[in-house]
Structure 1
């Protein structure tokens, strides 16, 4: 049965790849972008099955209006994929106030506004699936991406909480956590802070770790996303790529070891 999918940040990268995958199999898709000219090829190819909407997810009123427009046009929204976002590259000290605020504004609040907007629609339907595009960097961290890391950790906490709040309404929540993929995320889509020379070695070490083998093929993710959307009981979390799970296992093993090492101190702090 065809679904109606709402995807933010569909101008390129994952958003556009996934939108086309849904359209190819006969789903109806609402695609948003700041510049809808980037969606013209989808409209030309798939016609009435696709609804392009100009949207800056940072604008809460516009986000609610976009959901209302989509609901009025197609009659329902089965799936929301909050994909809009970008990466801010820079050490913590290098990051300006404006850069930090804009990163959190888009990656966290933009996602929150769309989530809030679609929830009444899905509650009225008695069904729905909200998919938040997080990252392995919402589970583990890398230097030079501190504010981005923080934004994805926030998305993780928000979405896990949301899942517990809306399950009785028939609404499911999933977090997609990709490792690195060869998209424009670190290129045209990225923002770079003003450098401080003291961090040159930190950045050189970071760059040295970005070998080709760790980056997946973006188009290969489409099958996994289709399976996630079609799953009767979708997982709360889904890694994309081969790198994420081994990394997460090591991170959690290290965390558990530290917590165990300090367990007596932790227990004593309870006071009774």
Structure 2
């Protein structure tokens, strides 16, 4: 079972539900970014530039209006499913990734502007992207992003990672990935000496108490069992590296050493 804990300091900002006016603005921006709106499936279509047999049907996963010191912003996250535009059938092979669109819309002196965006980010598997993303504050300044977990199950082994999407210049990038969970329960069943069970889970929180940081570090708590032995819950600090602009797992991060 996926468990996620996110602690966010809102400080002087407020996150609100978008108004009907905001909804119209978001739809106008999406109409310009994507290859048309599919009324039948209620989604924006993103066609592949190099594969005539691939397109994605993107729907809004969430929109948040952030009232920050630098002005209001709309944080828009879309998730999509792959399909064949020639037949309309879904593409759901395990090697086919889904699509995520992430946008930050601002309001400048000349009107609506796209502060940062990435309309087409590969994510997920079996033709679909993960849904139910969370918006989190990642720094003392007005720096926000989205977090979710993404995984793959193969031959009874489940591997999951955290994805943290946030602006970097005018684009959106993944500040991870960070290993989040690993278990071989599907391969080992009840376990035993022949196949001892490893089932490691995690919860993530933003370490927002460090108000002097450019980007907040993370605190991840690992729990579960390793090769049949119960683990003592332990909190790991995940620092942010400004050079690579990403979170860096510690050298002794237990989940990194497990076989995928």
Q: How does the TM-score come out when normalised to structure 1?
A: 0.25
Higher helix share: 1
Q: How does the TM-score come out when normalised to structure 2?
A: 0.25
Structure of higher RCO (CA pairs closer than 8 Å, 6+ residues apart): 1
Higher strand share: 2
